[in-house]
Amino acid sequence: MPRATTSTDTIRHDLESAPPDGFVELKPMDYGSYLKRRDMAMKMGVTGSAKGVEKIDLDMLQTEVTMFEFRICIVKHNLEDPNGRNLNLSNATDFHMLDPKVGQEISALIDAMTQWESSKSAEGDGEGTPEGHNVSGDSGD
């Protein structure tokens, strides 16, 4: 039977944006965390009355989502502040001190680990699921 659970193996990535030897060690996000991240990405509130919708508030929460991703996925790193202190990327102060280039590279690595793309959809067939993949969950019998 094929394994369908998240691997606990970590992957070390050398960071081009943190020369000469900056690195992060990342672990994959499990599906529950992936869904929570999506839920966190947008907060919407609707206020209204019997007459209809009066106001829609939409908050984009990119900072909170990225901090969540870093907290879940970064297992180890060697990134330091100007005084040689190892940054705690789960701490908001240290997180905000991070060089944007380094942060973007780490985010891109996490995204690459998390995203799935069907080989069929990559070929442009427009289906989005591999041939024979049953997204409804029933066996088709």
pLDDT of 128 > 80? The answer is no
For the chain, give every domain's residue range. Answer: 11-29+62-115
Q: What is the pLDDT of residue 11?
A: 95
Average pLDDT estimate for 32-38 = 90
Do the beta carbons of residue 79 and residue 102 sit within 8 Å?
A: yes
What mean pLDDT is reported for the chain? 83
Quick check: helix, strand or coil at residue 4? coil
CA angle 35, 38, 41 (to 5 degrees): 150
Q: Crossing angle for the helix pair 62-73 and 31-40, nearest 10 degrees?
A: 160
Average pLDDT estimate for 13-24 = 97
Q: What is the pLDDT of residue 61?
A: 82
Do the beta carbons of residue 8 and residue 72 sit within 8 Å?
A: no
Q: What is the pLDDT of residue 42?
A: 73
How far is residue 12's CA from residue 16's CA, in Å, rounded to a whole number?
13
**Confidence grade of residue 44 (pLDDT, cut at 50, 70, 90):** low
Length of the chain: 141
pLDDT of 32 > 80? The answer is yes
pLDDT of 31 > 90? The answer is yes
Q: Which one has a higher pLDDT value, 24 or 137?
A: 24
Q: What is the pLDDT of residue 139?
A: 47
Do the beta carbons of residue 65 and residue 34 sit within 8 Å?
A: no
pLDDT digits (tens, 9 = 90+) for 53-101: 667 776 668 888 999 999 999 999 999 999 999 999 999 999 999 999 9
